[in-house]
Amino acid sequence: MTLTQESFSFVATLVRQKSAINLAPGKEYLVESRLTPIARSHGKTVEQYLAEQRARLSHTEAERIVEALTTNETSWFRDSQPFVALTDHILPELKQQRGLLATLKVWSAACSTGQEPYSIGMVLTDYFASQPGPRPVTEIIATDLSQEVLERAQKGRYSQLEVNRGLPATHLVRHFERSGTEWALNQAIRQMVRFQRHNLLDSPPAGGPYDVVFLRNVLIYFDVQVKREVLAKIRKVLKPGGFLILGAAETTVGVDDAWTRVQVGRSSIYQNTVGKK
Protein backbone atom coordinates (compact mmCIF):
# COMPACT_ATOMS: atom_id res chain seq x y z
CA MET A 1 0.00 0.00 0.00
CA THR A 2 1.37 3.41 -0.98
CA LEU A 3 1.88 5.91 1.81
CA THR A 4 -0.79 8.61 1.72
CA GLN A 5 0.04 12.30 1.85
CA GLU A 6 -1.81 12.54 5.15
CA SER A 7 0.40 9.87 6.72
CA PHE A 8 3.59 11.38 5.33
CA SER A 9 2.64 14.85 6.62
CA PHE A 10 1.92 13.36 10.05
CA VAL A 11 5.37 11.75 10.22
CA ALA A 12 7.17 14.78 8.80
CA THR A 13 5.49 17.09 11.35
CA LEU A 14 6.28 14.74 14.24
CA VAL A 15 9.94 14.39 13.24
CA ARG A 16 10.32 18.14 12.81
CA GLN A 17 8.75 18.87 16.20
CA LYS A 18 10.94 16.35 18.01
CA SER A 19 14.24 16.72 16.17
CA ALA A 20 13.99 19.78 13.84
CA ILE A 21 14.87 17.52 10.91
CA ASN A 22 13.04 18.36 7.69
CA LEU A 23 11.55 15.46 5.74
CA ALA A 24 10.88 17.08 2.39
CA PRO A 25 8.25 15.77 -0.04
CA GLY A 26 9.79 12.95 -2.04
CA LYS A 27 10.99 11.15 1.11
CA GLU A 28 7.86 8.98 1.31
CA TYR A 29 9.93 5.95 0.34
CA LEU A 30 12.27 6.59 3.28
CA VAL A 31 9.38 6.85 5.74
CA GLU A 32 7.86 3.63 4.43
CA SER A 33 11.11 1.66 4.51
CA ARG A 34 12.13 2.88 7.99
CA LEU A 35 8.70 2.28 9.53
CA THR A 36 7.98 -1.09 7.95
CA PRO A 37 9.70 -3.11 10.74
CA ILE A 38 7.77 -1.19 13.40
CA ALA A 39 4.46 -1.62 11.60
CA ARG A 40 5.10 -5.34 11.13
CA SER A 41 5.78 -5.72 14.85
CA HIS A 42 2.18 -4.55 15.32
CA GLY A 43 0.91 -6.89 12.60
CA LYS A 44 0.00 -3.97 10.35
CA THR A 45 1.04 -2.23 7.16
CA VAL A 46 2.79 1.14 7.49
CA GLU A 47 -0.38 2.94 6.41
CA GLN A 48 -2.52 1.04 8.94
CA TYR A 49 0.01 1.69 11.70
CA LEU A 50 0.19 5.42 10.97
CA ALA A 51 -3.60 5.71 10.74
CA GLU A 52 -3.75 4.20 14.23
CA GLN A 53 -1.08 6.60 15.51
CA ARG A 54 -2.80 9.61 13.97
CA ALA A 55 -5.90 8.70 15.93
CA ARG A 56 -4.07 8.20 19.21
CA LEU A 57 -0.31 8.69 19.37
CA SER A 58 1.47 7.27 22.41
CA HIS A 59 4.74 8.67 23.76
CA THR A 60 6.47 5.32 23.19
CA GLU A 61 5.39 5.06 19.56
CA ALA A 62 6.26 8.71 18.90
CA GLU A 63 9.81 8.01 20.08
CA ARG A 64 10.03 4.87 17.94
CA ILE A 65 8.92 6.78 14.84
CA VAL A 66 11.33 9.66 15.39
CA GLU A 67 14.26 7.36 16.18
CA ALA A 68 13.59 5.28 13.06
CA LEU A 69 13.64 8.37 10.86
CA THR A 70 16.68 10.05 12.46
CA THR A 71 19.05 7.08 12.69
CA ASN A 72 21.65 7.26 9.93
CA GLU A 73 24.18 4.88 8.46
CA THR A 74 27.70 5.25 9.78
CA SER A 75 31.16 3.79 9.28
CA TRP A 76 34.65 3.84 10.77
CA PHE A 77 36.88 6.86 10.00
CA ARG A 78 34.15 8.22 7.74
CA ASP A 79 35.52 10.67 5.15
CA SER A 80 39.01 10.31 6.74
CA GLN A 81 39.90 14.02 6.38
CA PRO A 82 38.47 15.12 9.77
CA PHE A 83 40.71 12.58 11.52
CA VAL A 84 43.73 13.83 9.58
CA ALA A 85 42.80 17.38 10.61
CA LEU A 86 42.56 16.23 14.23
CA THR A 87 46.14 14.91 14.37
CA ASP A 88 47.84 17.22 11.88
CA HIS A 89 46.33 20.55 12.89
CA ILE A 90 43.96 20.55 15.87
CA LEU A 91 46.08 18.73 18.46
CA PRO A 92 49.30 20.62 17.61
CA GLU A 93 47.35 23.90 17.68
CA LEU A 94 45.83 23.11 21.08
CA LYS A 95 49.29 22.26 22.42
CA GLN A 96 50.65 25.53 21.08
CA GLN A 97 47.80 27.45 22.72
CA ARG A 98 48.15 25.86 26.15
CA GLY A 99 51.62 24.41 26.41
CA LEU A 100 51.08 21.23 28.40
CA LEU A 101 47.82 19.62 27.29
CA ALA A 102 46.68 18.10 30.59
CA THR A 103 43.10 17.32 29.58
CA LEU A 104 41.24 16.85 26.31
CA LYS A 105 37.48 16.80 25.99
CA VAL A 106 35.72 15.87 22.77
CA TRP A 107 32.00 15.83 22.00
CA SER A 108 30.82 13.49 19.23
CA ALA A 109 27.25 14.56 18.45
CA ALA A 110 24.79 12.32 16.59
CA CYS A 111 27.17 9.42 17.16
CA SER A 112 24.80 6.63 16.01
CA THR A 113 26.17 3.16 16.84
CA GLY A 114 29.52 4.47 18.05
CA GLN A 115 31.87 4.21 15.10
CA GLU A 116 32.75 7.92 15.15
CA PRO A 117 33.59 8.33 18.88
CA TYR A 118 35.47 5.04 18.90
CA SER A 119 37.38 6.11 15.77
CA ILE A 120 38.30 9.32 17.60
CA GLY A 121 39.42 7.26 20.59
CA MET A 122 41.68 5.09 18.45
CA VAL A 123 43.17 8.11 16.70
CA LEU A 124 43.90 9.86 20.00
CA THR A 125 45.35 6.72 21.58
CA ASP A 126 47.73 6.14 18.67
CA TYR A 127 48.65 9.81 18.42
CA PHE A 128 49.54 10.29 22.08
CA ALA A 129 51.42 6.98 22.15
CA SER A 130 53.72 8.46 19.50
CA GLN A 131 54.30 11.73 21.39
CA PRO A 132 56.83 12.40 24.16
CA GLY A 133 55.64 13.38 27.61
CA PRO A 134 52.55 12.48 29.62
CA ARG A 135 49.30 11.71 27.86
CA PRO A 136 46.40 14.08 28.67
CA VAL A 137 43.33 12.80 30.49
CA THR A 138 40.95 12.27 27.59
CA GLU A 139 37.17 12.07 27.65
CA ILE A 140 34.85 11.67 24.69
CA ILE A 141 31.17 12.45 25.22
CA ALA A 142 29.11 10.69 22.55
CA THR A 143 25.45 11.62 22.12
CA ASP A 144 22.51 10.64 19.98
CA LEU A 145 18.75 11.07 19.94
CA SER A 146 18.19 7.31 19.74
CA GLN A 147 18.44 5.27 22.92
CA GLU A 148 18.49 2.09 20.84
CA VAL A 149 21.67 2.97 18.94
CA LEU A 150 23.34 4.22 22.12
CA GLU A 151 22.74 0.88 23.80
CA ARG A 152 24.33 -0.86 20.84
CA ALA A 153 27.27 1.57 20.88
CA GLN A 154 27.95 1.03 24.58
CA LYS A 155 28.53 -2.67 24.01
CA GLY A 156 31.47 -1.96 21.70
CA ARG A 157 30.76 -5.10 19.68
CA TYR A 158 30.50 -5.17 15.90
CA SER A 159 29.79 -7.72 13.20
CA GLN A 160 32.25 -8.61 10.46
CA LEU A 161 30.17 -6.57 8.03
CA GLU A 162 30.36 -3.53 10.32
CA VAL A 163 34.13 -3.71 10.83
CA ASN A 164 34.55 -4.07 7.06
CA ARG A 165 33.05 -0.60 6.64
CA GLY A 166 36.11 1.62 6.87
CA LEU A 167 38.11 0.02 9.68
CA PRO A 168 41.78 -0.44 8.67
CA ALA A 169 43.18 -3.91 9.33
CA THR A 170 45.93 -2.42 11.50
CA HIS A 171 43.34 -0.87 13.81
CA LEU A 172 41.32 -4.08 13.92
CA VAL A 173 44.38 -6.02 15.07
CA ARG A 174 45.51 -3.36 17.54
CA HIS A 175 42.23 -2.42 19.17
CA PHE A 176 39.80 -5.35 18.78
CA GLU A 177 39.52 -8.98 19.84
CA ARG A 178 37.48 -11.72 18.21
CA SER A 179 34.40 -12.64 20.27
CA GLY A 180 32.38 -15.41 18.66
CA THR A 181 30.99 -14.04 15.41
CA GLU A 182 31.68 -10.45 16.47
CA TRP A 183 34.62 -8.14 17.12
CA ALA A 184 34.89 -6.57 20.59
CA LEU A 185 36.62 -3.22 21.06
CA ASN A 186 39.22 -3.26 23.80
CA GLN A 187 38.42 -1.83 27.21
CA ALA A 188 40.95 1.00 27.02
CA ILE A 189 39.17 2.64 24.07
CA ARG A 190 35.70 1.96 25.44
CA GLN A 191 36.57 3.62 28.75
CA MET A 192 37.43 6.85 26.94
CA VAL A 193 33.86 7.23 25.67
CA ARG A 194 30.77 8.14 27.69
CA PHE A 195 27.45 7.75 25.88
CA GLN A 196 24.31 9.70 26.71
CA ARG A 197 21.03 10.53 25.06
CA HIS A 198 20.76 14.09 23.77
CA ASN A 199 18.63 16.14 21.42
CA LEU A 200 20.50 18.93 19.64
CA LEU A 201 17.49 21.19 20.21
CA ASP A 202 18.18 20.98 23.98
CA SER A 203 21.01 22.48 26.03
CA PRO A 204 24.40 20.86 25.30
CA PRO A 205 25.29 17.77 27.35
CA ALA A 206 27.09 18.11 30.66
CA GLY A 207 30.82 17.49 30.57
CA GLY A 208 32.10 20.60 28.85
CA PRO A 209 33.65 22.91 28.08
CA TYR A 210 34.95 20.95 25.08
CA ASP A 211 38.16 21.28 23.08
CA VAL A 212 36.74 19.68 19.93
CA VAL A 213 33.19 19.03 18.74
CA PHE A 214 32.33 16.64 15.91
CA LEU A 215 28.93 17.48 14.39
CA ARG A 216 29.04 15.83 11.00
CA ASN A 217 26.28 15.34 8.45
CA VAL A 218 23.57 16.68 10.75
CA LEU A 219 23.18 20.38 9.92
CA ILE A 220 22.18 19.50 6.34
CA TYR A 221 18.83 18.30 7.70
CA PHE A 222 18.03 21.59 9.49
CA ASP A 223 16.68 24.88 8.21
CA VAL A 224 18.88 27.99 8.57
CA GLN A 225 17.36 29.21 11.83
CA VAL A 226 17.81 25.85 13.56
CA LYS A 227 21.38 25.65 12.24
CA ARG A 228 22.11 29.04 13.84
CA GLU A 229 20.60 27.96 17.15
CA VAL A 230 22.57 24.71 17.23
CA LEU A 231 25.85 26.41 16.30
CA ALA A 232 25.33 29.07 18.96
CA LYS A 233 24.75 26.41 21.62
CA ILE A 234 27.90 24.57 20.59
CA ARG A 235 29.98 27.74 20.65
CA LYS A 236 28.93 28.36 24.26
CA VAL A 237 30.37 25.01 25.41
CA LEU A 238 33.46 25.05 23.17
CA LYS A 239 36.61 26.49 24.73
CA PRO A 240 38.01 29.64 23.15
CA GLY A 241 40.37 28.42 20.44
CA GLY A 242 38.55 25.08 20.26
CA PHE A 243 37.45 23.46 17.02
CA LEU A 244 34.21 22.35 15.37
CA ILE A 245 34.28 19.65 12.69
CA LEU A 246 31.33 19.49 10.29
CA GLY A 247 30.49 17.21 7.39
CA ALA A 248 32.07 17.82 3.99
CA ALA A 249 28.88 19.40 2.63
CA GLU A 250 28.31 21.62 5.68
CA THR A 251 29.63 25.04 6.65
CA THR A 252 29.14 27.85 9.16
CA VAL A 253 29.80 30.44 6.44
CA GLY A 254 26.70 32.53 5.87
CA VAL A 255 24.97 30.85 8.80
CA ASP A 256 26.95 31.85 11.91
CA ASP A 257 29.84 34.17 11.16
CA ALA A 258 31.20 34.01 14.73
CA TRP A 259 33.25 31.00 13.59
CA THR A 260 36.60 31.23 11.80
CA ARG A 261 37.01 28.85 8.88
CA VAL A 262 40.38 27.08 8.76
CA GLN A 263 41.50 25.24 5.66
CA VAL A 264 43.32 21.99 6.44
CA GLY A 265 44.36 20.04 3.37
CA ARG A 266 41.25 19.31 1.32
CA SER A 267 38.82 20.02 4.15
CA SER A 268 37.70 22.88 6.36
CA ILE A 269 37.31 23.03 10.11
CA TYR A 270 35.90 25.86 12.21
CA GLN A 271 37.54 27.54 15.18
CA ASN A 272 35.88 29.31 18.06
CA THR A 273 37.94 32.48 18.12
CA VAL A 274 35.49 34.36 20.35
CA GLY A 275 37.39 35.07 23.57
CA LYS A 276 40.57 33.45 22.24
CA LYS A 277 43.71 35.09 23.62
Q: What is the pTM of this model?
A: 0.84
Cα 195 to Cα 151: distance, rounded to the nearest angstrom:
9
Alpha helices in the chain (DSSP H): 5-19, 28-41, 46-55, 59-70, 81-85, 91-98, 115-129, 147-155, 160-163, 169-175, 187-190, 224-237
- How confident is the model at residue 277, as a pLDDT? 52
Q: What is the per-residue pLDDT across 8-58, written as a single tens digit (0 to 9) for each?
A: 999 999 988 888 888 888 888 889 988 999 999 999 999 999 999 999 888
Whether residue 200 is predicted with pLDDT greater than 60 in this model: the reply is yes
Whether residue 276 is predicted with pLDDT greater than 80 in this model: the reply is no
Question: In order of start, what are the domains of the chain with their CATH numbers?
Answer: 5-70 (1.10.155.10), 81-272 (3.40.50.150)
